[in-house]
Amino acid sequence: MDNDNNVLAGAAQDSPAESEAPRPAGQVKHWLRKVLWEVLSTVVPALFITLAINVFVAQAMVVDGPSMQPNLYLSERVIVEKVTYRWLHGPRRGDVVTFDLPGEKEELIKRVVALEGETVEVQGGRVLINGQFLVEPWVTRPGEPSYGPMVVPPGHIFVLGDNRGNSRDSRYFGPIALQQVKAHALLVYWPLDKVKALW
């Protein structure tokens, strides 16, 4: 009986070892396929959603240059949204917008000061709309060149940098077409001590 008990005990001890035996190749392939599917079904949609948000909804951009000082400084990070102009309404006076310009690799960022059909003039950095000085609640820095008067054509807007003496804007390249406008700048999010909403 003792021998039989020893045999049974030995058999019981061998069972876990058998369960830890290497998986057959078919099981490994099945497991790898399952893991791959889980990754693809999670990562690919996430990448697609991120891309869709960047293209159609919002994205971050880095300020490049001094033209929007003192409201935007070099290397500050800005959130821009793309929904408003696509679905709700066009740019409005005072909006800070990003747009494409032929010959430029990166989008530019400026402020809308005049709309289609308006007569715009710039005198020493101050803006006149239809012969009246524009009240600008945002801070600007005066500077040349002066410009105009000229009538903004249909389907266009006139943009200036807030740093009027150090900005290449519509005084140089003229009004920009609404089709060139890409986004509406909403707020500065970096650096953290500079976080603020934009007009």
Which amino acid is located at 48 in the chain?
Answer: F
Q: Which of 82, 110, 167, 182 is catalytic?
A: 110
Among residues 15, 29, 41, 67, the one annotated as catalytic is: 67
CA atoms within 13 A on the CB side of 151: 3
Instruction: Classify residue 65 as left (phi > 0), alpha (psi -120 to 50) or beta.
Output: left
Would you call 63 helix, strand, or coil by DSSP?
coil
102 near 132, Cβ under 8 Å?
no
Is 67 a residue of the active site?
yes
For residues 189 and 198, the answer to whether their CB atoms sit within 8 Å is: no
**Catalytic positions:** 67, 110
